A and B are shown apart, each in its own frame.
Chain A
Amino acid sequence: MTVVNYSLQDIFGPGQRVFVGLEWFKEVLADKRLHDALGKQLIFSGLVLLIEMPLGILIALMMPKKGLTASISLVIIALPLLIPWNVIGTIWIIFTRPDIGLFGAAINGMGIAFDHTSNPLQAWITLMFMEVWHWTPLVVLLSYAGLRAIPEAYFQAAKIDGASTWATFWYIQLPKMRGVLTIALLLRFMDSFLIYAEPFVLTGGGPGNTTTFLSIYLVKVAVGQFDLGPAAAFSLVYFLIILLFCFIFYQVLKNVGKGEKS
């Protein structure tokens, strides 16, 4: 409620507020930097999904099916998911530092000037790297569970029918994984859309505004500039955008469920 209140009022100080109607909403919706942030956000989420989904499925396909090796590889895969977000940021800051970081120094050692704090493209690549490293395991785990749930008879039938590995994947594994993959897609989209911790810790939205995604921008507006009114309106708009996407995904998910029932 406070957020709704704030979004409709101008606040000068404690007890001093003026009702401004939809003024903040107009301002927020017209804000070029917000459009910019939204565009960047969509590109980022899209790219992340494009990498994470196929990569996750591929890793899941390559993982051992049973025995001790299966459990060990599951634990290793799940490790990035267990690390707290701020620790992740710190790890990556150190990891990518051009002077002492293993990754940063190695790249620089190869003769490529690498510094994600100054080069926008490199900042993006680093962020995506981080995101992919952090969250692909979730896709792997979900896909793995989906794969294990396919009855052995299907694979036997495919062998008998002389199907190639590719055909087995395309006609059996992929269709049978449709349900879990939709869930993975949904979760990954929402998570990447809400990305905050990684750019906040690693780049702080820079260099310039190149990695200022929606959430970073929101915090900048609210806390950095203390524009509580526009920030509140902004969060509501943000909230509505997420709601819209959730609704779309939910509809898709429902239809997938129907397809499998019939």
Chain B
Amino acid sequence: MAKITLDNVAHSYIAKPKNQADYALRLIDNIWNDGGAYALLGPSGCGKTTLLNIISGLLTPSKGRVLFDGKDVTGLPTEKRNIAQVFQFPVLYDTMSVYGNLAFPLKNRGFNKIDIEKRVLEVAQILDLTDSLNKKAASLTADAKQKISLGRGLVRSDVAAILFDEPLTVIDPHLKWQLRCKLKQVHEQLKLTLLYVTHDQIEALTFAEQVIVMYEGAIVQIGTPQELFENPSHKFVGYFIGSPGMNFLPCTIEGNQAMVGDIAIKLNNQTAALGAKAIGKIELGIRPLYLEIHNTKVEGSVPTIVKSIEDQGSYKIVTTILGNNNILRARLPEGKTCPSEKAWLKFSENWIRLFSDDMLLKN
């Protein structure tokens, strides 16, 4: 297990990058702790795969160093870095049994038979693969195959980190739950350094203790799932995390109120104080969860026009229009009646966030 240090790492696929835009990965300076579960989250093209390849040793960064437990590994190839990786689709040795697959990394490293067997049985136990040890690996289902891929990393006691590259892409939804659960348990049990790359927020947030949100080659925020949800430091994080994402309304601040056109939304003192000092383009952000939907006007609510309603089974998402074409999406809990034309939305004061020029205003 290892602490991973990224010391001013940057990468460009162009030989002589001229400006920022030529970098697939802009300057990243970060330390990931030993035994932590990290997720790299972002849309395709954000640089997350580039960063993963730099850590696995497939790519040498144009600038900066990569250190494992303080040791510089920047120039080392993959096989010398003691990492394991689970890929997007199952990568197995088709001709071998499950046991053979799990034993393979140990065999190659010259362990003796007894040690190998002990270790393989242990790992098979953790991953619920004991019953299929003698089966041909190729005959198993996709989720079992991904468990074997993971197992090949787990059998090695020297592994510095296990990297996951969108490992649940080919797995059915109901099995995704089981695999995610398994992964979490493995982490609880073994306290390995895990790094998980995905575009799927649910996977990232359920898996990781720390989520690294990337956007256009840069890290826009690192935080716990809760921090990302409650205080997205950049509009992109607000939009990207949460389903649907955060609502944004362009506004001006007048005392204790945010004015969206001529509609006033009340702010609490703290938020108002932040807004008073702010310069640049101001926007109000609020999560759909923190908008209460009412059929009739209530104290402190604003009128909106209902555009559409999506039934999600256990709740509904109501899309409304506020004032001059501002879209607001709100979450309507199960069992509540749904307004058909007009809806009054009440903003939960404590969950209103203000952004100036896309960045969160904070103390």
Contact = CB atoms under 8 A, between A and B. Distances in A.
A–B interface present (Cβ within 8 A)? yes
A110 to B, nearest CB: 45
B58 A162 contact: no
A162 B87 contact: no
Nearest to A152: B58
B139 A162 contact: no
A151 B89 CA distance: 10
Interface residues of B, number: 25
19 contacts: A153-B87, A157-B91, A157-B149, A157-B152, A159-B79, A160-B78, A160-B83, A160-B84, A160-B152, A160-B153, A162-B109, A163-B104, A163-B108, A164-B108, A167-B108, A171-B95, A171-B96, A175-B95, A176-B94
Nearest to A153: B87
Main secondary structure of the interface of B (DSSP, over half): mixed
Interface in A146-166: 151, 153-154, 156-157, 159-164
Contacts of A171: 93, 95-96, 104
A262 interface: yes
Given A154-B91, A172-B93, A262-B138, A161 B83 contact: no
B75 interface: no
B78 A159 contact: yes
Nearest to B80: A159
A162 B108 contact: yes
Interface of B: 56, 58, 77-79, 83-85, 87-89, 91, 93-96, 104-105, 108-109, 138-139, 149, 152-153
Contacts of B138: 259, 262
B85 A156 contact: yes
Given A162-B105, A163-B104, A156 B78 contact: yes
Interface string A170-196: 011001100000000000000000000
A157 B95 contact: no
Given A151-B89, A160-B84, A160-B85, 9 more contacts: A153-B88, A153-B89, A156-B58, A156-B85, A161-B104, A171-B104, A175-B93, A175-B94, A175-B95
A172 to B, nearest CB: 7
Interface of A: 151, 153-154, 156-157, 159-164, 167, 171-172, 175-176, 259, 262
Q: Label chain A's interface by main secondary structure.
A: helix
A9 B99 CA distance: 65
Nearest to B81: A160
A159 B108 CA distance: 10
A175 B92 CA distance: 11
A172 B152 CA distance: 15
B152 A161 contact: yes
A164 B79 CA distance: 11
Contact of B79 (A151, A160, A172, A176): A160
B151 to A, nearest CB: 11
Nearest to A157: B91
A135 to B, nearest CB: 28
A154 B96 CA distance: 14
Contacts of B149: 157
A163 B153 CA distance: 13
Nearest to B138: A262
Contacts of B152: 157, 160-161
Contacts of B78: 156, 159-160
Contacts of B88: 153
A156 B85 CA distance: 9
In the A-B complex, the 9 residue pairs with the smallest Cβ-Cβ separation, listed nearest first, are A162-B108, A161-B105, A159-B79, A153-B87, A157-B91, A171-B93, A159-B78, A175-B95, A153-B91
A151 B138 CA distance: 16
B108 A161 contact: yes
A259 B94 CA distance: 10
